[in-house]
A = this chain, B = another copy of it.
């Protein structure tokens, strides 16, 4: 595990280099700098207020564990949450600095803007993977016990829960609120500085899509590595353990080289989508090559095939997501919009539900292959393979909101329309990468949950779990209900928080004269505060549900009940998340397709129908859907920790 520290150190060096390069870049004129700084302050203020709720919870849980079970376990929990918080904070800070710089770079050319925005995303991607393994190895050296890494993983999960749910509610409440009053009632264009919620909307992109997504993948990354380490050691001793370490490092190295490759290529890039894809594929192939060499060297070729299955399924899920949210499928969906909003909702719902079929098939194939080759360890290792290149895949993902923010800043600062064209082009690519990123996040959550479940079933006394015990089925029923109930809570939360935002925007437009004429500035801070408070307040109930349901089920139905609960929650949660993400993505893109002038273009009935679809899709794809990822992983890790605590070490 010393390799984690060595290569983690190298990666930190690279991150610092990249950070200085970004900071060296001019942040533009006074206006862009000021806007960027307002967004940054808003985003940081949200995080700090989130921490105020979050840390007391973590400290209480940690104290409880330290005093009643094991001191090191409590410390591991703290380390897990601290390192995840830290990586989210660093990544988001840089992202909110990169936005204005991207806007300014766009005054030069597309390649320059791509370079700056991708650099910003790369900080997030690399920080997550680097701090993920450094924290893990510190925990390992401190506790000297693989089992206790589960507490580190639990810490990361708790951060992810708060970041995803809180960030998801924030981003959509601001977005929907800004749209309802701004676009519909006051007839303002997108990102217009006269809209009081415009900054809150930009802050939302950062706290939701950067910090939230980062914490989500941090959790998956750490959870899958932990599972693979534990199962690898259990079934294959030293060889299993070492392989996991090496594959993780291959992925990290490949990500760094892939990022460098992308940055070199992006300078003269005219096709950002192609450049980003080339970098990702480069990193994936490099990881596979390194794994191949390694597996031949240690004469354990199965390792290669398992990692191959994981990486391939990650890529395939991305492609399926793209297939369902672009091209022919979208044109067909846009066509149904000509018949009205109900038709576009039904067709989009059917589309999202249909997409579960292929994705499930791919995941199943990867699991079958991995299990046939290496048993339960294979299942976990395939997850590690899929997540190994998270350094670059999360970079591509985090680049999107930076480009989106840059566009907003360009618009608000009144930069040349040509600048906006460039940022729009980058943003469009960002939308596709965001949709693919969501697919990847769900797929990785599914594999991580399966890996954690394998770990759980290995720890739990599996003989005591029989299918003739109906508590397995009943646990499954309750588990399957949770993602639905959880989604209802988060959807209600977005709706209510958006209502508060709408009222505030209306109040400002009414009470502060001269906002619409541009003579007076609206009170941006007030809107940011409302989104922050609204999100944090409504984050608590769903979070408690996720943390305590396994505990309650254990005391009601024992180990069998928990096994059922995990299976039920994961399988129904994954389907619901895929459905919501892809329906949402498809509606979003169908709207954009019509806005390009098809089927009557902007303002037509078809356009209005797709606006309805897009609005419905917003909480689907950006709040409820992604929150389910966390729910299922958190329940799995909580169950492992619970069983560990109850059975003792």
Complex partner residue of A571 from B346, B491, B571, CB under 8 angstroms? B571
For chain A residues 474-521, which have a beta carbon within 8 Å of chain B? 474, 476-481, 484-485, 487-489, 491-492, 494-495
Complex partner residue of A376 from B351, B468, B477, B619, CB under 8 angstroms? B468
Do B360 and A477 touch across chains, with their CB atoms under 8 A apart? yes
Question: Which residues of chain B come closer than 8 Å to A446, judged between CB atoms?
Answer: 477
* A486, closest chain B residue (CB): B353
Q: Provide the bound-state CA to CA distance between A481 and B574, in Å.
A: 9
* A355, closest chain B residue (CB): B488
**Interface status of A340 (Cβ within 8 A of chain B):** yes
Do A567 and B570 touch across chains, with their CB atoms under 8 A apart? no
State how many angstroms separate the Cβ of A128 from the closest Cβ of chain B.
26
**Interface status of A135 (Cβ within 8 A of chain B):** no
Do A353 and B487 touch across chains, with their CB atoms under 8 A apart? yes
Q: Mark A449-466, 1 if CB is under 8 A from B, else 0.
A: 010011001101011011
Do A495 and B350 touch across chains, with their CB atoms under 8 A apart? yes
**Interface status of A530 (Cβ within 8 A of chain B):** no
Which size bracket describes the interface of A in this complex? 35 or more
Question: Which residues of chain B come closer than 8 Å to A33, judged between CB atoms?
Answer: none
**Interface status of A282 (Cβ within 8 A of chain B):** no
Given contacts A480-B575, A488-B353, A568-B571, contact A346 B460 (CB under 8 A): no
Q: Provide the bound-state CA to CA distance between A99 and B454, in Å.
A: 58
Q: Mark A332-367, 1 if CB is under 8 A from B, else 0.
A: 000010011111011101111110110010011001
A-B contact pairs, 7 of them (CB 8 A): A350-B491, A353-B488, A357-B488, A364-B474, A472-B567, A476-B568, A479-B571
Given A342-B615, A346-B494, 4 more pairs with CB closer than 8 A: A350-B495, A354-B489, A357-B481, A465-B467
Binding site for B on A (CB under 8 A): 180, 336, 339-343, 345-347, 349-354, 356-357, 360, 363-364, 367-368, 371, 376, 379, 446, 450, 453-454, 457-458, 460, 462-463, 465-468, 470-474, 476-481, 484-485, 487-489, 491-492, 494-495, 556, 563-564, 567-568, 570-572, 574-575, 579, 611-613, 615-616, 619
